[in-house]
Structure 1
Amino acid sequence: PEPFEWLVPGLRLELITGLIKTLPKNIRRQVVPAADWAAKAAATLPETPQGNLLTTVAKALQSLSGAIVTAEDFDPLRLPDHLRMTYRVMGSTGKNMGTDKNLEKLQRGLAAKSRDAVAEVAERVTSPLERDGLTSWDFAELPRTVDAQHGGNTVRAYPALVVTNPGTVRQEVNIRLMATEADQKREHPLGTRALVIAAVPSPAKYVQEHLTAQEKLILTQSPYPNLSALITDAIAASVDSVLFSMREDGMIFQKAEFETLRDRVQGAIMDNIFDAVSQTARILSAARDATKAMASANPMTYLAVLTQEKAHLEQLLQPNFMSNAGLARLPRILIYVRAITMRIQRMLEDAGRDRAATVELDQALNLFEAAGGKIPLAPHSPASQVRVRWMIEEFRVSLFAQSLGTAEPVSLQRIKKALG
């Protein structure tokens, strides 16, 4: 949507004027009258502006006026309708398939119809590729793309292994032709993982039988509904660790690659799962310590921090946190949980120091949210958001539990830079 947010050149001056009028009063009074400052800002823009509209206008106003203006200070939803682009999707017969001011919302709403339409066109030029109920990788290769001509245009489909009804007894793997490469990249690694799990003897029973009584007791406090679900997620995380070490994007399309993946998983899965379960037991033990530390603090005096850290602990220990975070990150999650206990202890010693650090943490969280991120991460979040989400955890350690050490240099400035 970014290029469309600039509207047409004839409305751009009115658009910038309207945006200035949405600024908070303390900023707006430094750039009045709005029309004059809009004209000054517009004069600094190239004939064909590129990039984010709000960021570019904010930088122009700040440079011209000296006022501190950021993209987050504008409120585009307050603009009149004619200054916000309207998107309309037309079907091949001219029928209006949908209209909205929000392009991404429109795309999400029509995603299934888009996929079906692309698949229908693509299957005209290739032997039927879509299949249901795969139990093994029984084909030589899945093409990365399928091109077809339609109405003078090239329509490109993106084949992928897609898991339906994940996590249920009715789960199955199907071959589907996706409408976009992003859809393919989102679904295909999950489908590949499911076929690997189907191809490798399950170690779940052996693992359960060889856990210590203490481990079994601690693991009952996990966010998983039962021990079987926890081990199932550890198996998924183990497959992912091998898959993404083979291919950074997790995209394999040839049978030979799949067989290599299967063999590597089979060789590493037992050690990986025992390590994951052991790490999880330590994490849950640390979580119990964090809960005790929070219970020891006066809830009336420290209500804000205790509420924040209780939510923080829940964010770290979401269902399926092993496969969502990845095996390699489990040792850091242990550090993040221990940092909660340390923060509470240090807060009781010096509440003023904690308040100062909280201001910096809140700034980082606000930047992340303004960039579209949220914690816990939404499924299939962009890689940049995933990176910053974990940078924020390291930032918490640097603010509240420095002695635990961070995995990388981290600061508010580095988080800003990572968010672009």
Structure 2
Amino acid sequence: QLDCTAAVLIIASALCVGDPRERPAEARATADLSHQRFRDERSDFVSYLNIWGQYRYQSRQRDRKALREWCRKRFLSHARLEEWREVHLQLSMMLRDLGAEGRPAAAASRRHAATQRKDAAGSRSERRDDDAGGRDTRTDEQEHAPSMASGVAYDYARVHRALLAGLLRQIGHRTTEKSYTGLRDVLFQLSRGSGQYHRLPKWVVAAEFVETERRYAHCVGAVRTKWIERAAHGLIRRTYFDAHWDQRRAEAMVFEQSALYGLVLNPRRRVRYAPIDRAGAREVMIRAGLMEGGLHSPAPFLEHNRELVRSLREMEARMRRPELLRDDQALYDFYDARIPDNVVDGKSFEGWWRRLGPAAVQGLRLRDTDLLLAAAPVFSESSFPEALQLADALLPLRYRFRPGAEDDGVTVSVPVEGLGQLDERQLQWHVPGMRQEKVLALLRALPKSIRRRLGPAPDAAAEFLERHMPDSDDGELAPAGSPSLVQALSTWLAHRFDVHLPDDLWTDEHLARILPEHLRVRIVVLGENGEQLTASRDLAALRERFDVRGDARGRDAAAKDAPGQPADEHRHWAFGELPRSERVARGDAEIWLYPTLLDTGHGVRRIDVDSAASAQRIAQAGLLRLFLLGARLNLDKLARRLPQALELFWLENLIEPHPLWSPDAEADPSLAVDALWLAARRAFGPDLERIRDEAAFAAALERGLQRFDTEVERAVTSVLEIGRRFKALKTALQADELPPAYRENVEDMREQLAWLVFRGFVRSLSEAELLALPRYLEAMQRRLDKLLQGGARDGEKLKSVRPLWERYLSRARAHRAQGREDAALNHYRWMMEEYRVSVFAQEQGTATRVSRQRLDRLWASIAA
């Protein structure tokens, strides 16, 4: 059958007479060296062919005496070689009588070329698990190519397949470094005389086993498992496991394990499932192909069904109601009842549905009632929005109902550049559809003594949300500037039940302990290519990790650390038009960044920030730097030439850093330079917001230069007035003769003064705030004068002011630590200054109407 009779006949006759190679004890090493010429790198059986070919050739070239000498020098037994030849002759005659005389190997190769190429193509995938020698890289074509063993033609693969038919019980698989396992768990090793002893093929067939203290295999050849499987076809036991869907092939596949008498030949071969189990393959197609989307098909009903299932599961996840949908078995039963038994893969599926009529195709479309356990609930898209709409971002929301899982609940995806745009106040309100549950959880976490005063918690939660549900647009969790959920709830409890909760009751740490994970929005931070960098439910921790600060000064400071190269620095307008905003997409998330010009001290650099307000603040300094460079104005030199330079120098030495934040490390501490900077801001400032290109910049530069000298005089006068008032107050408040009884009053005034005039105040404060400073300092002087004249009511007034200021300090420190920017809180801070004027210097008058009630209402709008 394999057309290798000639070669196998030589090997079989050799096995009958025994090994002709001799290894005398006194010359064993020399004999082994001589026998190396006959060895084959893969098989000891081929060594017999090598010996046979050499001996036959020499017997034709030499006389009997010379032939014996040739055998002696090569440590071959002439007697056994002759016996071998005699046995071979007898076997050949027997085969001739039976009509089974072998053809030459080369002819056999041509006869079976087509068959072998087919076998090779069908089994290349098996080579990875089936390497006969562990290092043999021959292809199947090379295995079947005719070879010559000292003149004897043979086909290695066919010869060893033929040998396997008779030596099947003597196969083995290498399981340890030198040990082999055979059929029925028989253990053996290769004999030292074998040519494969050092090579240790992965699979071998042996001519015989010899047992001493161990079992040794003699005369072995490397084989492949597919040859063994063909030889033992009827004896192979096959088991199947891990049926799965192959999306590329559009059919079910399964892993096959083949074993022969307990010896595993192939532990994991991937084969088609349908020929083995059509019903099982059909089930895999329905579940993995149709239900899970693994089968790509243009069938219209299939796309409709998948979209319906997706929308219903999305509704189930958003509403967190697992009782809405039937389990997957209902969907399987739907397809199982309609798809014929002979449809088992993508090809048969396409052929089946395309032959159906319109009515039959329509019957394959799912309806809500096929999957819902009860009537569909009222589902509002606005209660569970698909995206979070911010002023400068549109961020996708993903819903998962996986209690205990890391991504359970609502997840918002945000690019790292837009992390500063997220507002903890909005996130705390959560999506509208989950607010009732969240408020209920907050109320139930209150002390029992408080809960008793509220009545039934569900009723209290419903009443609160009815009165305080934020009036937000689609996609907004709460309008910008809204108080946080816990602040609104605390205020409502105080008004409705006269329950006053401590400001520090609902800290972020406390909320993390009392609220289930799904009631806190999960934040996924996206990288430059839309990949997930990290995820957390703690916004403050994420901001700290990525060095993102949400307050104004923090954003400006972060901008100064933005990446860039010295080559990016410009000393004149050479960067084209400066757009107001740019859209950036990361996956499904969209944010708007704001290009601006960053002052580097020696020039400007174009950067992108996540806030229009920050962009405007940063651009103000950047544009002023360009103006100064364009006008060739050196503020340091000009400051030294000011007539008031010395007085400004002494004043700046009295000014201390801000109590809450420090000025930028690169900020110039010179009060004279700051005064000139103020002059430049006033001279060029009116046009800053309109400057977006080089032409507008050049026109503004020309107009600003005309105003600069006038503004210098005005700015120096303003700064000197503030500095002189500050010096007078600071000196008076540090005087030793101040009565000890007024210590608390004096400390309050010292603190107020430090918040009004601090290092860098000229550049940090807005124009309106700077213009108001002299009024506030004058009011402080009036208060101090009254105090020194024995103003007994100052302490009483302080008691009414101090709580309002303390709550600001507490909130300001918290916002600073969390990186928040809150315009309402800043407005409250300056309204407090007006309130101090009305309380301590009423005769001076205020710039706007202010009262305790107005401050309380303003405070209610500020986020916790």
CA 1:394–1:8: 2 relative to 1, 3 Å:
closer
**Pairing 1:61-80 to 2, within 5 Å after superposition:** 61-62=493-494, 64-65=496-497, 67=498, 69=500, 72=503, 74-77=505-508, 78-79=510-511, 80=513
Question: What code does the residue aligned with 2:569 have?
Answer: G
Deviations 1:149-168 (A, max 9, x none): 6546656443221234x5xx
Which structure shows the higher strand fraction? 2
**Which residue, 406, 411, 419 being the options, matches 2:851?**
411
- Which residue number in structure 2 is paired with residue 106 of structure 1? 542
CA contact (8 A) 1:339 1:397 kept: yes
Q: Secondary structure at the match of 1:174?
A: strand
- Which residue number in structure 2 is paired with residue 233 of structure 1? 674
CA contact (8 A) 1:375 1:389 kept: no
In the alignment, does 2:447 pair up with 1:16? no
Which structure shows the higher helix fraction? 1
Task: Give structure 2 stretches of 5+ with no counterpart.
Answer: 1-423, 471-477, 479-483, 549-554, 556-565, 658-666
CA contact (8 A) 2:597 2:605 kept: yes
Structure 2 distance, partners of 1:200, 1:43, is 64
In the alignment, does 2:752 pair up with 1:303? no
Cα displacement (A) at 1:352: 4.0
TM-score when scaled to structure 1? 0.75
CA 1:255–1:345: 2 relative to 1, 3 Å:
same
Structure 2 distance, partners of 1:331, 1:6, is 39
CA contact (8 A) 1:395 1:410 kept: yes
- Which residue number in structure 1 is paired with residue 166 of structure 2? none
**Which residue, 140, 143, 146 being the options, matches 2:582?**
146
**Which residue, 381, 384, 398 being the options, matches 2:824?**
384
**Pairing 1:100-249 to 2, within 5 Å after superposition:** 100-107=536-543, 109-110=545-546, 132-147=568-583, 151=587, 156-164=592-600, 171-181=602-612, 183-202=614-633, 204=635, 205-206=637-638, 208-212=640-644, 215=647, 219=651, 221-223=653-655, 229-242=670-683, 244-246=685-687
Deviations 1:317-343 (A, max 9, x none): 211211222455445322322333322
Deviations 1:85-114 (A, max 9, x none): 2534254689763444432552464367xx
**Which residue, 39, 42, 51 being the options, matches 2:462?**
42
Deviations 1:169-224 (A, max 9, x none): xx441112335545534433332222122222326445543415884575464539
Structure 2 distance, partners of 1:243, 1:412, is 39
CA 1:363–1:252: 2 relative to 1, 3 Å:
farther
Question: What code does the residue aligned with 1:195 have?
Answer: L
In the alignment, does 2:752 pair up with 1:312? yes
CA 1:150–1:180: 2 relative to 1, 3 Å:
same
Structure number with larger C-alpha Rg: 2
Structure 2 distance, partners of 1:212, 1:12, is 61
In the alignment of these two chains, the number of paired residues is 393
Cα displacement (A) at 1:37: 4.2
CA contact (8 A) 2:595 2:609 kept: yes
Structure 2 distance, partners of 1:375, 1:239, is 32
Cα displacement (A) at 1:132: 0.9
Deviations 1:123-154 (A, max 9, x none): xxxxxxx9711101124421223346654665
Structure 1 distance, partners of 2:544, 2:621, is 20
**Pairing 1:391-402 to 2, within 5 Å after superposition:** 391-402=831-842
CA contact (8 A) 1:13 1:39 kept: no
What's the % identity of the aligned pairs?
22
TM-score when scaled to structure 2? 0.40
Structure 2 distance, partners of 1:379, 1:136, is 33
Task: Give structure 1 stretches of 5+ with no counterpart.
Answer: 116-129
CA contact (8 A) 1:22 1:76 kept: no
**Pairing 1:340-379 to 2, within 5 Å after superposition:** 340-369=780-809, 372=812
CA contact (8 A) 1:224 1:320 kept: no
Cα displacement (A) at 1:81: 5.1
- Which residue number in structure 1 is paired with residue 692 of structure 2? 253
CA contact (8 A) 2:631 2:701 kept: yes
CA 1:15–1:347: 2 relative to 1, 3 Å:
farther
Structure 1 distance, partners of 2:852, 2:645, is 43
Q: Secondary structure at the match of 2:740?
A: coil
- Which residue number in structure 2 is paired with residue 54 of structure 1? 486
In the alignment, does 2:772 pair up with 1:336? no
Cα displacement (A) at 1:304: 1.8
Aligned residues: CA RMSD: 4.2
CA 1:148–1:41: 2 relative to 1, 3 Å:
closer
Structure 2 distance, partners of 1:331, 1:180, is 26
Q: Secondary structure at the match of 1:142?
A: coil
Q: Secondary structure at the match of 1:160?
A: strand
Cα displacement (A) at 1:412: 2.6
Question: What code does the residue aligned with 2:686 have?
Answer: S
Structure 1 distance, partners of 2:681, 2:832, is 24
Cα displacement (A) at 1:383: 3.9
- Which residue number in structure 1 is paired with residue 427 of structure 2? 4
Q: Secondary structure at the match of 2:460?
A: helix
CA 1:412–1:257: 2 relative to 1, 3 Å:
farther
Structure 2 distance, partners of 1:239, 1:147, is 33
Structure 2 distance, partners of 1:370, 1:383, is 16
Question: What code does the residue aligned with 2:852 have?
Answer: L
- Which residue number in structure 2 is paired with residue 124 of structure 1? none
Structure 1 distance, partners of 2:531, 2:782, is 61
Structure 1 distance, partners of 2:718, 2:706, is 20
Structure 2 distance, partners of 1:30, 1:152, is 44
- Which residue number in structure 2 is paired with residue 127 of structure 1? none
Ranked by relative contact order (alpha carbons within 8 Å, sequence separation 6 or more), the top structure is 1
Structure 2 distance, partners of 1:287, 1:153, is 50
Cα displacement (A) at 1:237: 2.1
CA contact (8 A) 1:398 1:406 kept: yes
Structure 1 distance, partners of 2:431, 2:648, is 64
CA contact (8 A) 1:397 1:405 kept: yes
Deviations 1:352-390 (A, max 9, x none): 4112221232233245346547999x9995443443322
In the alignment, does 2:709 pair up with 1:274? no
Q: Secondary structure at the match of 1:32?
A: helix
